Amino acid sequence: MSRILGIDYGTVRIGLALSDPTGTLASPLPHWENNSVPKIRRSLHELIQTHEISRIVVGLPRNMDGSYGPAAENVRNFILQIQEGLSTPIETQDERLTTAQASKQLSQMGLNQKELRQKIDSSSASLILQQYLDRKRVSP
């Protein structure tokens, strides 16, 4: 069975999460530093091969009124950059409030600010992917 990769794009770090083979549960992976598109593309190809990833879900930021702003445009540009030479389909998932939710959950675990910064992006990616997985299980 194949897995789904969740991505929370950020200008500094890229949060990552991976589904289990049944597509039921999302788990965070270590984040990547966002410093080189070619390096990210190579790492993405390796991850796809290693984990037999069949789909990528990228969080797409929306304003609370449902509209899209500059952050969404940055994510769309990122998707265009990583799609080059990639046959794995990419979908987007509304990511409203996922960072705030991830921050709250991590803070409740007693993490300090430094630890929180190291985990927040991949925790957000995990929430984005879990929302996607839950939505797909409910949809016919």
Tens of pLDDT, residue by residue over 7-41, are 999 999 999 999 999 999 999 999 999 999 999 99
Reported as type and span, the H/E element at residue 113 is helix 113-138
Residue ranges for the chain with pLDDT beneath 70: 1, 96-120, 138-140
What is the CB neighbour count within 10 angstroms for residue 2? 13
pTM: 0.84
Sheet harboring 3-8: ordered strands across? 26-33, 13-19, 3-8, 53-60, 90-94
What pLDDT, on the 0 to 100 scale, is given for residue 64? 75
Using CA atoms, how far apart are residues 140 and 132, in angstroms rounded to an integer? 14
**C-alpha dist (Å) from residue 65 to 21, 74, 94, 95:** 35, 19, 12, 13
What pLDDT, on the 0 to 100 scale, is given for residue 90? 97
Domains and CATH numbers, the chain: 3-138 (3.30.420.140)
What pLDDT, on the 0 to 100 scale, is given for residue 123? 83
